[in-house]
Amino acid sequence: MGKSEYRNFLIESFLFGAKGLVFVYDVTQEESYNDIEVWESLAKSITGTVPILVIGNKSDALSSEIYDEEKVSFWCDERSYHYSIASARTGENVTSAMEELSQEILGDLLKDLDP
């Protein structure tokens, strides 16, 4: 098994059966945001339609932000993804963002159980 085959196998194994996805990007690194579309395509090919949360990390460093929040917000709205700006360092908005995604996943699971 070659390197790329092994990588794809690991990604598929990790994502198989996922009920929701979280994409985190660094608000101070534009290429970090650009990578989300690549991961989105790959992940959706494995998981199908599941709730997705996009988090712009490093809200504590917003003075050095280089991304366009309106662009990211619009991109997420077009796809019905949850979107939040958070800080892993300070914990700002991390819990609320994860709770929002968890509530949607739970709602989907309960719908599946309803006869």
**How many degrees, rounded to 5, is the angle at CA 40 between CA 6 and CA 63?**
115
Query: For residue 38, what pLDDT is reported?
Result: 83
Among the listed ranges 2-6, 21-25, 85-89, which one has the minimum average pLDDT value? 2-6
Give pLDDT, residue 115. 65
Domain locations in the chain as residue ranges: 3-113
pLDDT at 9: 80
What are 24's two structure tokens?
């985190």
At 66 the pLDDT is 61
Has domain 3-113 been given CATH number 3.40.50.300?
yes
State the pLDDT at residue 102: 92
Strands 21-26 and 82-85, by their bridges, are unpaired
pLDDT in tens, 33-92: 888 888 888 888 888 889 999 998 888 776 655 667 788 889 899 999 999 988 888 988
Distance of CA 107 to CAs 10, 66, 78, 94, 98, Å?
Answer: 28, 35, 21, 20, 14
